[in-house]
């Protein structure tokens, strides 16, 4: 039987300060844990009902010692979701990543993204389009927020996400690489060729790309509206459109 203290500990990882203190985060659900076990991330404990771990013998060969058998009632106590899944894992937060040789390929730069669902979806979009690196401004939402994890649908384990002062990134790495950013006064994206390698800058949901970052843009682009009164696009939707145009240019 799982102890009350263990339940309290796992539940505490839903809060950022405890994730930071313990250097652990939570992954929930069969698909997400399946992706975790296929990645280089380190699961510490895997709380699973019998019907899940009995079907995962091959995947669990390396992680059998981490399995903690629980009942449906116990997984409900551990879960941070409205409807608990069959499995939940605590995972070690990797050491802070550094980057150097990532700019030979497209890189997504996120300026002040605050919505966890948007960040998770952007990670998933990057994965779909084969973009392996994202750099977030230091004030963007935390990568291991449970809503980011869930929205990424496992892409978190394949796309590398870094946090950095963006001025430093552009000053150090942006001299010879085109920097495209989505703005309201930019050139129509559908008449613009996006090269590769490239830095693609996406601004925050509320304020767009900040002036301190806009000054580094070499190309401003806009996604035109066709008869809609909507003022702006969701940051993740905008990322998807820009990435699609990037790949269209790349294969033509």
Percent of the chain with pLDDT over 90: 65
Tens digits of residue pLDDT in 17-39? 999 999 999 999 989 998 998 89
Strand-pairing partners, residue 134, are 108, 161
CB proximity list for 114: less than 8 A, separation 6 or greater:
139, 140, 141, 204, 205, 206
Q: What is the pLDDT at residue 131?
A: 96
Which is higher by pLDDT, 84 or 66? Answer: 66
pLDDT at 83 exceeding the cut of 80: no
Model confidence at 170, pLDDT cuts 50, 70, 90, reads very high
What mean pLDDT is predicted for residues 160-187? 92
What mean pLDDT is predicted for residues 4-15? 94
Tens digits of residue pLDDT in 182-202? 998 899 999 999 998 999 999
In which region does residue 153 sit, left (phi positive, over 0), alpha (psi from -120 to 50) or beta (all else)? Answer: left
Strand-pair category, 67-69 with 87-92: unpaired
Give the lowest-confidence range in 38-52, 55-69, 86-100. Answer: 55-69
Mean pLDDT score across all residues of the chain? 90
Q: What is the pLDDT at residue 233?
A: 83
Q: What is the pLDDT at residue 181?
A: 96
Please tell me the pTM assigned to this model: 0.92
Which is higher by pLDDT, 185 or 85? Answer: 185
Strand-pairing partners, residue 201, are 109, 181
Of the candidates 244, 103, 230, the one whose C-alpha atom is nearest the C-alpha of residue 221 is: 244
Q: Where are the domains of the chain?
A: 4-92, 107-251
Q: 2.60.40.10, 3.30.1330.30, 3.40.50.150, 3.30.70.60: which CATH number matches 4-92?
A: 3.30.1330.30
What mean pLDDT is predicted for residues 127-147? 96
Spacing of C-alpha 185 from chain mean position: 28
Give the SS3 label for residue 28.
strand
Q: What is the pLDDT at residue 67?
A: 84
What mean pLDDT is predicted for residues 139-154? 96
pLDDT at 249 exceeding the cut of 90: no
> What topology is assigned to 107-251 in CATH?
Alpha/beta knot (3.40.1280)
pLDDT at 236 exceeding the cut of 90: yes
Q: What is the pLDDT at residue 186?
A: 92
pLDDT at 57 exceeding the cut of 70: no
């Amino acid at each position: 039987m799982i102890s009350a203290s263990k339940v309290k500990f796992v539940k505490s990882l839903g809060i950022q300060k405890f994730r930071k203190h313990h250097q652990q985060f939570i992954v929930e659900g069969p698909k997400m844990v399946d992706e975790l076990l296929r990645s280089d991330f380190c699961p510490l404990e895997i709380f699973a009902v019998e019907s899940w771990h009995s079907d995962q013998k091959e995947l669990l060969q390396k992680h059998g010692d981490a399995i903690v058998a629980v009942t449906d009632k116990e997984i409900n106590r551990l879960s941070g979701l409205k409807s608990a899944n069959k499995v939940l894992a605590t995972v070690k937060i990797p050491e802070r990543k550094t980057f150097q040789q990532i700019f030979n390929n497209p890189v997504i730069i996120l300026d002040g993204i605050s919505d966890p669902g948007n960040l998770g979806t952007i990670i998933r979009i990057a994965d779909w389009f084969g973009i392996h690196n994202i750099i977030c401004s230091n004030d963007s939402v935390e990568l291991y927020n449970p809503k980011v994890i869930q929205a990424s649908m496992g892409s978190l384990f394949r796309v590398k996400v870094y946090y950095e002062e963006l001025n430093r990134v552009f000053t150090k790495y942006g001299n010879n690489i085109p920097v495209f950013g989505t703005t309201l006064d930019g050139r129509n994206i559908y008449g613009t060729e996006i090269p590769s390698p490239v830095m693609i800058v996406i601004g925050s949901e509320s304020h767009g790309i900040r002036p301190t970052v806009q000054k580094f843009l070499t190309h401003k682009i806009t996604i035109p509206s066709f008869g809609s009164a909507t003022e702006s696009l969701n940051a993740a939707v905008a990322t998807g459109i820009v990435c699609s145009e990037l790949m269209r240019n790349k294969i033509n």
